[in-house]
Amino acid sequence: MSLKTHLLLTVYWLFFLNITAKSAEVTFKNVSLFKSRVSPFATIPSSNTLKEYLPKENVFSITVVGEIPVLRKNSVTDISTVKILEFMGNGLKEIEPGALGNLHRMIKLSFNHNNLTTINEDVFDNLQIHDLDLEDNQIATIPSGALKNLPQLTTLYLGNNQLRSLDDGVFDRLDNLENLVISGNSISTLPEKFFRNMPKLKMVFLGNNSLKKMRKEIFQDSKIEYLDLSSNDIASLSDDFFQHLPHLRGIVLNHNHITAVPKGIFNHQNLDQVQITHNEISSIDPEAFDDMPKLANIYLSSNKIKVYNPNWFHNTPNIFRLFLSYNQMEELPDEAFKNIYNHKKQWIKLDGNKIKNVTPRTFKGFKNILNLNLVHNEIEKWDENFLADADVVIYLNLQDNKITCPEGNFDEVFKANFTYLSFNPLTKECVGKIKEWRTQNPNRVVSAEYV
């Protein structure tokens, strides 16, 4: 055999091997397709293309179940009947460039619970999807340029992966991105001005990462409206943390290590929601939450707050929901909530504290109560005068206290539409009196089971 023939044969042989190897490695082998989660409508014995197994008519959502180590070139292309396509728990390790294309009606593509470690460049090129879900994989790197040409993408889910950092500009070409979920990774810092080229970005979820110091420069030139930083290692925020977040409406800092809220951080911000539960806050400056024109909800539950300061929330006229559950308050000052009186129906949660004494002055001026929750405290005495100023009380919850019997005229004591008194050491006689009152006032609900 001449060398030339030999070489030709070798080339031919290699080519043949390659073809057989490729055809042996089909994408879908014993894989089932579901329309709902109930039962599969088709099983693919062996094929490299999904299209021919899909229903011919339009269908909302298809889930692909079964082992798929690699999504090969042309395996998920030319599909115009499916809106949502989910690959779930397939052990998928790689998506080859060219695997996805011409997905005309598709709005969401999901690879939840798979084993992707990176995103190959060009894989998602020119898809018109709105949502891309890559949560619960093992993605550790995203090359710059891997996520581009997704002109309609509004939500990107990258939660629960293994990202330690993100390159500057990695999402820069996602012009319509509104929601970015990067929770559950190991990110400890982000580049300066990381969000500057995401003009539509509104919601950023960074919970369950390793963020310690949040440099305000990260947010420079962003338009973020909602920022979730829960379950990180944040111990404090700088005075000017919000300087580059002028559009922010809500901040979530739950499950961090914040010990104090000084003044100067939150004042004059346009936030309507502040969540700092499950931290170690024992001190809040008297002016910490003053002058917040839009603040409506504040969540301070599960901290170490010992004293409620009635001067908090000065000139913060819209606040009406106050969550103070599971702190260490033993008493409430007179006119405790004097700064929270406005036309809205108020919601104050004080359950799980150690409050002992309530007096007619505690809730003085309190007019409009949707929900006053004092469950699991140490209140011994409840009196007809305690909510005398209230025109409306919908829910009054006094369960699990030390009340033996409320005092005074029951028509006043039970002025709330719903009063809960169970799990108190009510006397038998008291329970009898309450039951009798209840029969004459069927439009009020009073729970007072004898314990």
Ligand X SMILES: *[C@@H]1O[C@H](CO)[C@@H](O)[C@H](O)[C@H]1NC(C)=O
Q: Give the binding site for ligand X (CB under 6 A).
A: 30, 66, 91, 115, 183-184, 207-208, 228, 230-231, 394, 417, 443
Q: How near is the Cβ of 394 to ligand X at its closest, in Å?
A: 5
Q: How near is the Cβ of 416 to ligand X at its closest, in Å?
A: 8
Q: How near is the Cβ of 330 to ligand X at its closest, in Å?
A: 31
Q: How near is the Cβ of 159 to ligand X at its closest, in Å?
A: 7
Q: Residue 185 or 353: which CB sits closer to ligand X?
A: 185
Q: Residue 91 or 246: which CB sits closer to ligand X?
A: 91
Beta-carbon count within 10 A of 446 CB: 20
3-state secondary structure 78-118: EECCEEEEEECCCCCCEECCCCEEEECCCCEEECCCCCCCE
Q: Residue 161 or 353: which CB sits closer to ligand X?
A: 161
Q: What is the CA radius of gyration of the chain?
A: 30
Cross-strand partners of 346: 369
Q: Which of 196, 194, 201, 242 is nearest to 218 (CA)?
A: 194
> How many residues does this entry show for the chain?
451
Contact criterion met (CB below 8 Å) for 92 and 116: yes
Q: How near is the Cβ of 126 to ligand X at its closest, in Å?
A: 29
Q: Residue 228 or 287: which CB sits closer to ligand X?
A: 228
Q: Residue 119 or 379: which CB sits closer to ligand X?
A: 119
| Residue closest to ligand X (Cβ) | 207
CA distances from 55 to 34, 82, 121, 428 (A): 11, 9, 30, 67
Q: How near is the Cβ of 70 to ligand X at its closest, in Å?
A: 11
Q: How near is the Cβ of 440 to ligand X at its closest, in Å?
A: 14
- The 8 Å CB, 24+ separation contacts for 316-321 are 316/289, 316/290, 316/291, 316/292, 317/293, 317/342, 318/272, 318/293, 318/294, 318/342, 318/344, 319/289, 319/292, 319/295, 320/296, 320/344, 320/345, 320/346, 320/347, 321/296, 321/297, 321/346, 321/347, 321/348
∠ CA 328-232-198 to the nearest 5 degrees? 130
Q: How near is the Cβ of 411 to ligand X at its closest, in Å?
A: 11
* CA separation for the pair 50, 65 (Å, rounded): 12
Q: How near is the Cβ of 209 to ligand X at its closest, in Å?
A: 9
Q: Residue 137 or 353: which CB sits closer to ligand X?
A: 137
Q: Residue 72 or 196: which CB sits closer to ligand X?
A: 72
DSSP codes joined into one string, 333-379? -TTTTGGG-SSSPEEEE-TTS---B--TTTTTT--EEEEEE--SS--
Q: Residue 107 or 370: which CB sits closer to ligand X?
A: 370
Q: Residue 252 or 355: which CB sits closer to ligand X?
A: 252
DSSP codes joined into one string, 24-88? HS-SEEEEEEESSSS-EEEEEEEES-SGGGS-SS-EEEEEEES--SEE-TTSEEEE-SEEEEEE-
Q: Which of 202, 201, 162 is nearest to 184 (CA)?
A: 162
Q: How near is the Cβ of 303 to ligand X at its closest, in Å?
A: 18
Q: Residue 208 or 353: which CB sits closer to ligand X?
A: 208
